[in-house]
Structure 1
Amino acid sequence: MVNRGFTMAEAARLVQPNLQRSTVSSIIRTFHQENRINRRQPGGGRPRVLTDQQELAVEEMVRARNDIRLSEIKQAIENSNDTFANVPSISLPTMSRLLKKHQVSMKQIYLVPFERNNVRVKQLRSEYIQRVMELDAAVNHHTYIFVDEAGFNLAKTTCRGRNLIGQRATIQVPGQRGGNISMCAAISEDGVVGCTPVLGSYNTEHLIVVFFK
């Protein structure tokens, strides 16, 4: 239009037959005001709350402690003076969306004894195996006796059942549950050496009285 003296309608028809005059006017206005004719990059909306490094730091929190709550992550972020110093506050829904983005979901927690694989317990297991191997290699035959305890209750029932759709699965149980019973048994290569039930739980004194006297 500037170089050839076209009107807006003529310039529109020259570029595209169905191009509207208002579109040409908008392009010219943008060129005069912002010195550009290209389309602006999409943007807008709220900026990101956390950077990529901060999101990875949140993921590491969950990896380090699987039972951490969203409220605890939120508090750790808002109280941080280092990694999250630029984040004054963050909402719980934002935390939930962030974890979902990084493939973190709610799962059942499995209990793992933390002492099972420490150095002391591993050394004790190694010493136990060495002792058993020495006894097997000895001239005199040794009989191994294994002692274990299991607790139960006479009123214990199954937790799952079947019935027609729309109807509850029910069973009859006694009004009084009664006390817990512990059964301790000693087993060798020849079978059960002895077993004694007691009301309550076993302790060291009970074991000595039942099996070692």
Structure 2
Amino acid sequence: MKTYSIDFRQKILDTYHAEPISQKAIAKRFSVALSFVQKLLKQYRETKNIAPRTDRCGAKGKLNAEQLLILAELIEENNDATLEELRYLLYGKIGFSVSRATIGRMNKTLRHNFQKKTLFPSGKGTERVQILRCEFWETIKNISFKDLIFIDESGVNLAMVRLYARALKGERAKGQRPTKRGKNVSIIGAMSVNEILTSVNLIGGTDAITFEAFIIRKLVPKLWKGACVVMDNCSIHMGEEVKKAIEKKGAKLIYLSPYSPDFSPIENLWSKLKIILRSRKTTNYQELGKAIEFAFEQVTSENIFNWFTHCCYCTSSF
């Protein structure tokens, strides 16, 4: 209700009592809303007072503080539940039902928003894996980050395009991509804190023989005494010849703990490359090869150093 002066309110009340006039006519005469006249007269009948109310502070919340805390716990335990499912779960806890819209508003009050999940393997949270992750850091913490070399593989294909675009509100954002993605192109790369040491692209997957050839022909010539090669423990990396070739050069080999891609800065390299490749819209393997070469050229020394910092191998600024 709009706040009008007491004098103005009194004039409306006096007119209502002095003249045989309807509430609608009073509203028209004084150029106010009919609802204002109705509320004013009701207020006078109930309280004998026409002063503006000062106790209005918005609608009372459907849930009190304790019930809101219960809802927060339910969201924490069932973070992928729909609003309707949360509504049902809350009913079982507090004994009365609230609307789905109320659940939505309370989600915002609790600062929860619905977003895409960041998924991780269920085994990552086991005690065994956590112990192995700690043991990895105990092994590597005394090695200078300047001697670390990370190796990994990634796959790309011809159907890689940007998946997000702009469109007018209410319309779909559309785009084209090749109907046939073709065979995957595997990229094997080795990265130190200073540079991309070496990389190779090949059509198809990477097997143990291919990986062994990459180590012996591409990586070993770039190694130095005291270098430490770090790679994940997938089966194609476990060949005896791989270890022998690295150690023969005076370097050593350490395997990442299971479920630990977050310990490998080269994962950030693949993310950057794929972002660039999605923007190139390649249609054949020759174009894709050139796009991969272009993407590697966009990687800066600062990028690499920041990736090492992100994975906690160094802390100083670039």
Could you tell me the TM-score, scaled by structure 1's length? 0.52
Query: Residue 151 of structure 2 aligns to a residue in which SS?
Result: strand
Given candidates 180, 183, 190, the residue that maps to 1:179 is 183
Q: CA deviation at 1:153?
A: 0.7
Q: Structure 2: which 5+ runs fail to align?
A: 1-9, 19-40, 209-233, 246-318
- Kindly state the Cα deviation for residue 127 of structure 1 after the two structures are TM-superposed: 1.0
Give the drift of 1:144.
Answer: 4.9
Deviation of 1:55 after TM superposition, in Å, equals 1.9
Q: Looking at both structures, which has the greater relative contact order when contacts are Cα pairs under 8 Å and sequence separation is at least 6?
A: 2
Instruction: Give the counterpart of 2:113 among 80, 87, 106.
Output: 106
Q: Secondary structure at the match of 2:14?
A: coil
State percent identity of aligned pairs. Answer: 20
Q: Classify 1:21/1:105 alpha carbon distance in 2 versus 1 (closer, same or farther; 3 Å).
A: same
Q: Is residue 207–residue 236 contact of structure 2 (8 Å, CA) maintained in 1?
A: yes
| Preserved contact between residue 186 and residue 195 of structure 1 (Cα < 8 Å) | no
1:46-105 deviation line (CA, Å, top 9, x unaligned): 98643231023213433555433212211211223xxx1x31x333123223334x1646
Q: Which runs of 5 or more residues in structure 1 are unaligned?
A: 1-14, 137-142
Contact 2:185-2:201 within 8 A present in 1 as well: no
Structure 1 segment 71-150 matched on structure 2, within 5 A: 71-80=84-93, 84=94, 86-87=95-96, 89-100=97-108, 102=109, 104=111, 106-109=113-116, 111=118, 113=120, 115=124, 119-120=130-131, 123-132=134-143, 144-150=148-154
Query: Displacement, 1:172?
Result: 6.6
Question: CA RMSD for the aligned pairs?
Answer: 5.0
1:199 to 200, 204, 214: 204
Matched residue, 1:53: 66
Aligned length: 170
Distance change in 2, residues 1:184/1:211 (3 Å):
farther
1:108/1:187 CA distance change after superposition, 3 Å: same
Distance 1:20 1:160 in 2: 64
Q: CA deviation at 1:106?
A: 3.4
Q: Give the distance between the partners of 1:187 and 1:67, measured in 2 at CA.
A: 38
Q: Which has the higher helix share?
A: 2
